[in-house]
Amino acid sequence: MVRLLAEIMHIRKIKGSGSIEDFPYETFSVKVRIKGSSKKTIKTPKGIKGKTMSIKRPFLKDWMVKRGDLIVLNADETKQCITELGIQGKAKKWKGFTKKDIDSDGYKEILFNNPFITAVLSPYYGARLYQLFNKGSHKNELYGGCYYKQKGYVELGGIEETLGKHGKPDRLWNTSYTLKSTKGKNTLTFITKIKEEKGLSIEKKFSFFKTFPGLVNTVRFHFKPAKTKKKNKKEKKQKKKIALTQRIFFAIGGIPNYMNLYHIPEKSGLHTIRFNKPLYKRGWDDSAWWEWQHCHFTPEPGLIILENELSHEILIIFFSTSKLNYLWTGDKNKTPRMHITYRETKIEPRKEKEYITVVATGNCYCFSNQQLLFVSKGSITGYSTPLSFVFYSQSDKERKILIDTGSTIKTIKMKRLRKIKDIQGRIFYYTMVAKNDINEINATVADTELKVRLHLE
């Protein structure tokens, strides 16, 4: 999130004193003039530079400020400034999307809504999938710590890309992207040039669906070196190395605690690990769960299931195993996160490389024999609830689903989601509307062992 740099114009002591870790402080009312963004890599919101406002904050007695000094407004002070000055503006409908400043930082995010999800895209912070709300639980499944780390890096949350080694942040995570005209409905494309890598640009495309509880995220790199008058063999062989990592911050159920589970598919079945396992022996059983730092996996097939143990809501991410180096999960910091780290590759001049992920939400699931069935619950509207049943298999075979509402049993052919390049297997789905007099729905995919049961409230 942007933090503003401000110049102190006037300072006045008010009531309020105490100590912070034995350092005494006093509270002041400070009138400031906004100078711009505190980081040069982040653009200053329009209409705010030169504006004045008043804030209240404590200052340590040993490090007192004076008129003319520069200070960095914290997140709450920045929001206060944006709100008081009315910089965030009104929400606006645009081509099936909504433009709205949801976090009062002076920049408008782009929102997409269907019956099952609300997806929030942030063009100004790496064109990232910033938030993803599961309408069945009304929770944001993507999460961020929003605190400063080394070298000014801020964990904003969502899904961000980096070309840094082992997923370390670089320019991509907060670069401002330009919206590019895109053919087709429910699709947005953003593009930017990478200043540190001459000739290299990155394009991010998001594709949404009217009745599917998820989206497709495509990251595409283009390499177009500058043309030279003299051609030689070295220029013809010129290539650019790429080692992409996607950092995914999440908190299934909206809370980043030990209820967050990672389910990684392997040939023997699902391998489950817990975020922030207690360091000492658990009081409610006989087994000791020790703290872990990080784990590396190579899933088969290419998906991971992130679940809240209490509510059973899930976030599922599909990715390409042919390009995968490893999947990293860790709990070194405050927020659950994972890295999808792809193998290093080279791009030839006038060529491109792309990486595709599918992200979907659900409210219960079943996994067996390398196949997955889950159901996503939408927002209750009037006297009905939308439901979407999603099935994943490595086979392209036509699929049928049996729906049992307690009073009726129906067998229905499932639709194929469009074929997604590099994603192993095929995704099928069926969407329906359940009346509110139905208390429970059971569903199973024909010729499989998969079965889900959803309680409707």
- The DSSP secondary structure of 210-242, one letter per residue, reads SSSSEEEEEEEEEE-PPP-SS--HHHHT--EEE
Q: What is the pLDDT of residue 145?
A: 61
Name residues of the chain where pLDDT drops below 50: 279-292
Same domain, residue pair 22 and 76 = yes
**Residue 414 to residues 163, 273, 359, 365, 456, Cα–Cα distance (Å):** 39, 32, 19, 17, 22
> Are 373 and 388 contacting, i.e. CB atoms less than 8 angstroms apart?
no
Q: What is the pLDDT of residue 41?
A: 65
Same domain, residue pair 254 and 149 = yes
**Residue 263 to residues 274, 305, 356, 448, Cα–Cα distance (Å):** 9, 5, 20, 20
Q: Is residue 295 part of a domain?
A: no
pTM of the complete model? 0.87
Q: What is the pLDDT of residue 293?
A: 53
Range of the domain at 182: 93-225+238-258+326-353
Same domain, residue pair 341 and 392 = no
Q: What is the pLDDT of residue 289?
A: 44
Cα–Cα nearest to 29, from 58, 67, 50: 58
Same domain, residue pair 104 and 67 = no
Same domain, residue pair 345 and 439 = no
Taking only the tens place, the pLDDT of each residue in 289-334 is: 444 456 778 888 999 999 999 999 999 999 999 999 988 887 655 6
Q: What is the pLDDT of residue 343?
A: 92
- Domain count for the chain, please give it: 3
Same domain, residue pair 346 and 449 = no
Task: Measure CA 259 to chain center.
Answer: 19
Q: What is the pLDDT of residue 103?
A: 83
Q: Name the token pair of 203.
A: 């394009």
Q: What is the pLDDT of residue 76?
A: 84
Q: Is residue 306 part of a domain?
A: no
- Rounded to whole angstroms, the Cα distance separating 62 from 197 reads 45
Same domain, residue pair 192 and 76 = no
Q: What is the pLDDT of residue 341?
A: 92
Q: Is residue 126 part of a domain?
A: yes
Taking only the tens place, the pLDDT of each residue in 241-268 is: 899 999 999 999 888 888 899 999 988 8
Same domain, residue pair 121 and 192 = yes
Q: Name the token pair of 219.
A: 């990251």
Same domain, residue pair 117 and 57 = no
